[in-house]
């Protein structure tokens, strides 16, 4: 007995998974944003309970400005990840992927936007990691990079470059396809 899964079924599954991940990264980004605001404006004691596994009390005691910069970098990375999944959901929901003609302007634009967001996510993740390492050299007790959700900067950068190359291939495919359409 052979089980065959069609491309449409895989895309529906990816659509559902993208929604689940999107909700998760939205909660994370919103939580970082609200907790940063709450800690800076309302109650600085809550730096100890910033996020599960993240205790920023030593960082806040060291300097609230450094606390703000570190959390801002975490927020930016979380927002970029949220935007990546928003773009994925949008293209799958609008059914803009034409599998009969995959080289179209919508697909090329989608991949290009994803590459920019992945590159930006990698750059801000890298910056956040370097900033946290610098704070450790100043004697501040910091949570590990994975707990801060800043790990994998090299993977994000690699993915961004790879997607950028694929976007250029799609752009060239669109050009060739439009030339062929004009020839016919």
Residues 38-94 have pLDDT tens digits of: 999 998 777 888 888 899 999 999 999 999 999 999 999 999 999 999 999 999 898
Predicted confidence (pLDDT) per residue in 149-167, tens digit = 999 999 999 999 999 999 9
pLDDT of residue 69: 96
Q: Give the closest residue to 107 by CA, choosing from 154, 11, 43, 171.
A: 171
pLDDT > 90 in the chain, percent = 67
Instruction: Give pairs for 35-42: CB < 8 Å, separation 24+.
Output: 35/71, 36/68, 36/71, 36/72, 36/75, 39/67, 39/71, 40/64, 40/67, 40/68
pTM, two decimal places: 0.90
State the helix-helix crossing angle for 153-183 and 105-137, rounded to 10 degrees. 170
pLDDT of residue 162: 97
Q: Which residues pair with 54 in a beta bridge?
A: 51
Neighbours of 75 (CB within 10 A): 19
Going from N- to C-terminal start, the domains of the chain cover: 7-183
pLDDT averaged over every residue in the chain: 90
Model confidence at 184: pLDDT above 60 = no
Q: Which segments of 94-152 does DSSP mark as H helices, in order? A: 105-137
Q: What is the mean pLDDT of residues 161-176?
A: 92
pLDDT > 70 in the chain, percent = 96
Determine the 3-state secondary structure of 54 from DSSP: strand
Higher pLDDT, 22 or 107: 22
């Amino acid at each position: 007995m052979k089980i065959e899964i069609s491309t449409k079924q895989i895309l529906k599954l990816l659509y559902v998974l993208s929604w689940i991940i999107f909700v998760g990264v939205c909660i994370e980004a919103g939580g970082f944003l609200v907790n940063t605001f709450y800690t800076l404006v309302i109650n600085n004691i809550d730096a100890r309970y910033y996020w599960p596994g993240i205790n920023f009390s030593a960082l806040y005691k060291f300097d609230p400005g450094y606390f703000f910069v570190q959390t801002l970098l975490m927020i930016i990375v979380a927002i970029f990840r949220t935007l990546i999944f928003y773009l994925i959901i949008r293209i799958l929901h609008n059914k803009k992927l034409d599998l009969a003609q995959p080289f179209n302007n919508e697909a090329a634009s989608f991949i290009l936007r994803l590459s920019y967001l992945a590159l930006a996510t990698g750059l801000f993740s890298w910056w956040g990691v370097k900033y946290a390492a610098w704070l450790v050299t100043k004697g501040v007790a910091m949570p590990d990079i994975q707990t801060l959700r800043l790990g994998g900067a090299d993977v994000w950068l690699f993915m961004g470059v790879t997607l950028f190359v694929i976007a250029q291939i799609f752009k060239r495919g669109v050009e060739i396809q439009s030339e062929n359409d004009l020839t016919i």
